[in-house]
C-alpha cells in the first residue's frame, strides 16, 4: 500500500509540474506576442535620456570644468538631451567678459561651442551669478540665467545627474 501511495504522489507531482510548465510557456508566448517583454539593453539605449551635468568649479579646478563640458558633449553625441548646470565659481564660464581657458590639450571655448552648436544649453544659478558678479546680460550665447523653478524642474526631470 505504501508503494501505491508514493506512486500516486509522484504521479500527481509530475502531472502538476507539467501543468505549471505548460502554463508558464503559454504565458511567455502571450507576453512576447503582445510585445510586453522588457526591452533589451540595446533597445533601451535607443531611447533619449535626459542628462544634467553639474559643474561647480572653473578656474580653481579647471580639470573638473573641462571634464564636465567634455562629458556633456560626449553624452550629447551619444543621443542624450544634455543640459549643463553651473553654480558657485563655475558661473564664470558663462561670463562673456571672462576668457575661456585651455587645460592640457582641451580648449574650453571649442568644447563649449561644439556642445552649444549641437543643441546643448547651459543653465546658470542666479544666486551664484549675482555673488560672482555675472549679470544676465553678460552671459555668453547658449547660457541662460535660471530661476528656482527652472532649476528644480531641470533636476526633477533628469534621468541622470553627473556632478563635477
The total of other beta-carbon atoms located within 10 Å of residue 101's CB is: 16
Instruction: Specify the CATH number for the domain of residue 71.
Output: 3.40.1260.10
User: What count of other Cβ atoms lies within 10 Å of the Cβ of residue 57?
Assistant: 19
Q: Are residues 25 and 52 in the same domain?
A: no
pTM of the model: 0.72
Spatial separation of the C-alpha atoms in residues 68 and 56, rounded to whole Å:
10
Do 154 and 80 share a structural domain? yes
Q: Are residues 31 and 61 in the same domain?
A: no
Give me the tens of pLDDT residue by residue for the chain, a chain 164 residues long. 545 445 544 444 455 545 544 444 444 333 333 343 333 344 345 568 999 999 999 999 999 999 999 999 999 999 999 999 999 999 999 999 999 999 999 999 999 999 999 999 999 999 999 999 999 999 999 999 999 999 999 999 999 999 99
**Cell numbers describing residue 2:** 505504501
As given in the structure block, the three cell numbers for residue 153 are 524642474
Domain that includes residue 7, residue range? 1-37
Q: How many independent structural domains does the chain possess?
A: 2
Tell me the C-alpha distance between 159 and 43, whole Å: 16
Say how far residue 85 (Cα) sits from the centre of its chain: 13
Same domain, 19 and 94: no
Strand 121-124's sheet: what is its strand order? Answer: 143-145, 121-124, 81-86, 50-55, 160-163
Q: How far apart are CA 106 and CA 115, in angstroms?
A: 14
Amino acid at each position: 500500500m505504501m508503494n501505491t501511495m508514493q506512486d500516486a504522489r509522484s504521479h500527481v507531482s509530475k502531472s502538476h509540474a507539467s501543468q505549471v510548465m505548460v502554463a508558464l510557456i503559454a504565458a511567455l508566448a502571450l507576453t512576447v506576442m503582445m510585445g510586453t517583454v522588457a526591452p533589451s539593453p540595446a533597445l533601451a539605449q535607443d531611447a533619449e535620456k535626459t542628462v544634467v551635468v553639474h559643474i561647480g568649479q572653473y578656474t580653481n579646478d579647471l580639470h573638473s570644468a573641462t571634464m564636465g563640458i567634455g562629458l556633456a558633449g560626449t553624452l550629447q553625441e551619444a543621443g542624450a538631451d544634455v543640459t549643463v548646470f553651473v553654480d558657485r565659481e563655475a558661473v564664470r564660464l558663462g561670463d562673456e567678459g571672462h576668457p575661456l581657458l585651455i587645460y592640457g590639450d582641451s580648449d574650453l571655448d571649442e568644447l563649449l561651442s561644439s556642445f552649444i552648436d549641437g543643441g546643448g544649453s547651459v543653465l546658470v544659478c542666479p544666486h551664484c551669478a549675482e555673488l560672482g558678479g555675472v549679470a544676465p546680460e553678460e552671459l555668453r550665447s547658449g547660457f541662460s540665467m535660471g530661476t528656482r523653478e527652472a532649476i528644480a524642474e531641470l533636476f526633477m526631470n533628469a534621468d541622470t545627474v553627473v556632478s563635477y
